[in-house]
Amino acid sequence: MLAHKKWLGLAGLCGIAAPAAALSCIFLAVSMSPWFSWSANALSDLGVGEAAWVFNSGLMTGGILTMVFAAGLLVAFRGRTLGRVGAVLLFFDAVALFGIGLFSEAAGAIHGYFSIAFFVLLPLALFLLGASMVRAGSRKFGFFTLSAGILAVLPWTFGWDGVAVPEAISALAASVWNVAQGVKLYLSKA
């Protein structure tokens, strides 16, 4: 039982740390790249410039931390199939995030596949996790999770010259949820 509680605590901390690592590196890479335009570029353009090592390592670190977080959610959602499927999708979403950093735009089409997988799996995971929470009686946090999923999809319904803005909005929505769920998971270890 103690090992189980420690595992949930570690997973919760990883859920909190993942967006901090990824977003801080993204914004540091933006600050190191004076050519970058929020309206004309994709965030992945930062993965091949002078700040590539910062951007790519931040995504890979965020991906690894989110894999641990998702594995903790898999444990936390035991007995709830919908939540467990959502946790598995979140794990694969984390693999996609790692892949975006590992295979920059310079690697060719594989980068695009990982990027598409990330932005598709993210809201799907949130929808399933949120639905599972609502069904289990955790209505407020469940609807919060569903709202994060909607916010991760919504910016993609508008036309953009570059995709950095919808990418950032999706990532920020998921990050807020990640931190909140990470805190909940961490506190559940007690």
Q: Does residue 190 contact residue 7 with C-beta atoms inside 8 Å?
A: no
pLDDT in tens, 106-161: 999 999 999 999 999 999 999 999 999 999 999 999 999 999 999 999 999 998 89
What whole-number percentage of the chain has pLDDT above 70?
98
Tell me the pLDDT band of 7, cut-offs 50, 70 and 90: confident
Angle CA(170)–CA(155)–CA(74) in degrees, nearest 5? 35
Task: Give the separation between CA 151 and CA 171, rounded to whole angstroms.
Answer: 9
Task: Give the separation between CA 82 and CA 101, rounded to whole angstroms.
Answer: 29
The pLDDT value recorded for residue 190 is 43
What are the backbone dihedrals phi and psi of residue 159, each rounded to the nearest 5 degrees, phi first? -80, 130
pTM: 0.95
pLDDT in tens, 39-72: 999 999 999 989 999 999 999 999 999 999 999 9
The pLDDT value recorded for residue 159 is 86
Task: Give the separation between CA 32 and CA 35, rounded to whole angstroms.
Answer: 9
Residue 34, helix vs strand vs coil: coil
Task: Give the separation between CA 40 and CA 161, rounded to whole angstroms.
Answer: 5
* C-alpha radius of gyration, the chain, whole number: 16
Instruction: Return the half-sphere exposure (C-beta side, CA atoms, 13 A cut-off) of residue 148.
Output: 25
Closest C-alpha among 152, 99, 105 to residue 124: 152
Task: Give the separation between CA 69 and CA 73, rounded to whole angstroms.
Answer: 6
Tell me the pLDDT band of 3, cut-offs 50, 70 and 90: confident
Q: Tokens representing 151?
A: 């916010």
64 alpha-carbon distance from chain centroid: 11
